[in-house]
């Protein structure tokens, strides 16, 4: 049994969280602890909960910061103050890599990170083009940052964010190793100059507790339900989904589950297009509540504009036996194979055409849902955890 100790540092962790990466991180921690590896968690998410102590590791909550610099100052201060007993510092979500790398070099600790976003290599993920952004220069990244969609106050903040990005970009390449969740993400980081030897490809794992009975929901006598679950941000492509929904024939309803900074613009779009009552924003929901939306849905759509590393929600949709439609950008289409249809990234006409096909063809929905059974088996926790533990061993050898 391994005798090393792990410290996980993350800005997103239950019970206060912003996205699916929080649950991916939680599954990692629970998997390590259940395999006899003491794993402490430092969650910089602003949760006021007291520390949770256990024989296999403690979970401690700290205040958070809206900036990259602030998150790293908080993490480095606590590392210096507490001098944690650990062999590996695992940064989940990349933002706090500079603090971990600086401390790790001072105290001879191995540092790794799960590359769950593009924060160290891109200032505007919704405009990231695989391959074309390989030679992005600092001023290019500033121009992209200034074009990032959102409210005026956010764009005014972009020059300061860009300065922090440059710092994050340089420091993040000094870790001892990285976990890329998909080949698409690995390639994005290689294009940005990261060392291929240090990046290990290890996917997300599914949550066995989310599995449901293998039965498709019936749509007889009711509108077909289209579902999106996730953050409401420009790079998620919801603006494309709403435009595509407007092109469908009557007889369907779109549920958008989640919250984010782009919500006001999306709601205004729905209003301008006369889609009130057909496009329903549920707001933020706890994981336990979201399950009933998965269960009543006929089709799950993931329309991301950016090359998303490995969306947690596609594993959730697979667990609920849902047929899927995903963007051809990033990893989703390659991960799902025959378990999903794909559409041309950012093309609402192509999305509408394929979505209408999936809604109208019950046999096609059934076949894609059945194909998902085989896909899901590849991401069993035992399989993924064995790869992670092997990776840790290679860092310490």
pLDDT digits (tens, 9 = 90+) for 383-392: 999 999 999 9
In a 3-state reduction of DSSP, which class is residue 184? helix
Is residue 306 within 8 A of residue 329, CB to CB? The reply is yes
Is residue 299 within 8 A of residue 275, CB to CB? The reply is no
Is residue 384 within 8 A of residue 203, CB to CB? The reply is yes
Q: Are strands 224-229 and 199-201 parallel, antiparallel or unpaired?
A: unpaired
Q: What percent of the chain has pLDDT over 70?
A: 96
- Spatial distance between the Cα atoms of 71 and 207, rounded to a whole number of angstroms: 28
pLDDT over 60 at 213, yes or no: no
Q: What is the mean predicted confidence (pLDDT) over 334-350?
A: 95
- Spatial distance between the Cα atoms of 295 and 249, rounded to a whole number of angstroms: 23
Q: Which domains does the chain have, with CATH numbers?
A: 6-205+380-396 (3.40.50.2000), 208-377 (3.40.50.2000)
Question: What does pTM read for this prediction?
Answer: 0.89
- Spatial distance between the Cα atoms of 6 and 79, rounded to a whole number of angstroms: 14
Is residue 200 within 8 A of residue 380, CB to CB? The reply is no
- Spatial distance between the Cα atoms of 78 and 81, rounded to a whole number of angstroms: 5
Is residue 233 within 8 A of residue 149, CB to CB? The reply is no
Q: What is the mean predicted confidence (pLDDT) over 333-361?
A: 95
Nearest alpha-carbon partner for 334 in 314, 364, 354? 314
57-75 confidence digits (pLDDT tens): 999 999 999 999 999 999 9
């Amino acid at each position: 049994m391994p005798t090393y100790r792990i410290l996980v540092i993350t800005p997103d962790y239950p019970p206060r969280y912003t996205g699916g990466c929080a649950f991916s991180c939680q599954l990692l921690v629970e998997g390590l602890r259940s395999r006899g590896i003491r794993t402490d968690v430092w969650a910089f998410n602003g949760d006021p909960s007291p520390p949770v102590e256990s024989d296999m590791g403690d979970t401690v909550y700290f205040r958070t910061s809206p900036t990259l610099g602030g998150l790293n100052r908080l993490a480095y201060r606590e590392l210096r103050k507490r001098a944690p007993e650990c062999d590996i510092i695992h940064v989940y979500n990349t933002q706090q890599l500079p603090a971990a790398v600086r401390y790790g070099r001072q105290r001879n600790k191995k540092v790794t990170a799960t590359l769950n976003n593009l924060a160290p290599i891109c200032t505007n993920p919704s405009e990231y083009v695989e391959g074309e952004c390989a030679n992005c220069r600092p001023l290019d990244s500033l121009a992209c940052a200034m074009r990032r969609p959102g409210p005026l106050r956010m764009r005014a903040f972009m020059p300061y964010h860009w300065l922090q990005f440059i710092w994050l970009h340089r420091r993040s390449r000094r870790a001892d190793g990285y976990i890329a969740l998909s080949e698409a993400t690995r390639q994005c980081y290689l294009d940005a100059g990261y060392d291929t030897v240090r990046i290990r490809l290890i996917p997300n794992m599914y949550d066995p507790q989310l599995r449901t009975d293998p039965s498709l929901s019936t749509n007889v006598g009711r509108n077909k339900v289209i579902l999106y679950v996730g953050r409401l941000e420009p790079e998620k492509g919801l603006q494309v989904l709403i435009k595509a929904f407007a092109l469908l024939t009557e007889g369907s309803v779109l549920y958008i589950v989640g919250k984010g900074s782009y919500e006001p613009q999306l709601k205004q779009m729905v209003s301008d297009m006369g889609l009130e009552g057909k496009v329903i924003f549920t707001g933020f929901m706890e994981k336990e509540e979201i399950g009933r939306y998965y269960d009543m849905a006929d089709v799950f759509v993931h329309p991301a504009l950016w090359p998303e590393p490995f969306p947690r929600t596609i594993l959730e949709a697979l667990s609920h036996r849902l047929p899927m439609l995903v963007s051809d950008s990033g990893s989703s289409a390659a991960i799902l194979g025959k378990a999903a249809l794909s559409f041309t990234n950012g093309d609402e006409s192509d999305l509408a055409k394929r979505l209408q096909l999936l809604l109208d063809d019950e046999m096609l929905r059934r076949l894609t849902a059945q194909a998902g059974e085989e896909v899901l088996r590849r991401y069993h926790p035992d399989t993924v955890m064995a790869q992670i533990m092997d990776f840790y061993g290679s860092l310490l050898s």
